[in-house]
C-alpha cells in the first residue's frame, strides 16, 4: 500500500538514499533538509509517516516532532526518529518528544518495510 512519507535529514546522501529506497517500494516521498523545513513541508504534503533525523540543524528533530504533534493531523502521523544515537537516554528523549519509533542508522529495507507496515493506509 502506497504511503506518503516525509524524510528530514541534513545529510544529502542519507536523504537521497532513503528517498530512492522508499520510491522503489512505491511510496510517495517528500524531502526536507531540517526539522523546521519538515514542519513546513508536512503542512502542505500531509504525510502518513515522517522520518526525522533528530540531530538536524536549525530545528532539531525533537523540537520538530513536538511541533508536528501540535498540528491538526499530528496525531495521525507516524513519527520515526532515524539517528546515529542509540543509547537508552536517546530513546527516552525521542519517546518524550512524541516519536512512535526510534531507529538507529543504518537501517535495512526489511526493517523499514516492517515499520511502514504498522501505519494506517
The class that CATH gives domain 7-117 is alpha beta
State which H helix or E strand residue 115 sits in. Answer: helix 109-117
Q: In this structure, what C-alpha cell is assigned to residue 35?
A: 526539522
Examine the pLDDT at 18 and tell me if it is beyond 70.
yes
Q: Kindly report, residue by residue over 62-98, the tens digit of the pLDDT.
A: 999 999 999 999 999 999 999 888 888 989 999 999 9
Residue with the three cell numbers 516521498: 29
Half-sphere exposure (Cβ direction) of 63: Cα atoms closer than 13 Å: 10
- Give CA–CA dist 55/43, Å, rounded: 21
- Give CA–CA dist 2/26, Å, rounded: 6
Sequence ranges of the domains in the chain: 7-117
Q: In this structure, what C-alpha cell is assigned to residue 115?
A: 515499520
Against a cut of 0.75, is the pTM above it? yes
What is residue 103's DSSP assignment? E
Amino acid at each position: 500500500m502506497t504511503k506518503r512519507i516525509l524524510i528530514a535529514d541534513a545529510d544529502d546522501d542519507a536523504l537521497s538514499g532513503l528517498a530512492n529506497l522508499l520510491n522503489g517500494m512505491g511510496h510517495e516521498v517528500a524531502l526536507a533538509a531540517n526539522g523546521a523545513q519538515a514542519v513546513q513541508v508536512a503542512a502542505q504534503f500531509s504525510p502518513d509517516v515522517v522520518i526525522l533525523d533528530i540531530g538536524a540543524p536549525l530545528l532539531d528533530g525533537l523540537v520538530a516532532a513536538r511541533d508536528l504533534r501540535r498540528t491538526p493531523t499530528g496525531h495521525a502521523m507516524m513519527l520515526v526518529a532515524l539517528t546515529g544515537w542509540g543509547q537508552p537516554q536517546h530513546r527516552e528523549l525521542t519517546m518524550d518528544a512524541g516519536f512512535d519509533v526510534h531507529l538507529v542508522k543504518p537501517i535495512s529495507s526489511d526493517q523499514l518495510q516492517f515499520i511502514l507496515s504498522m501505519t494506517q493506509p
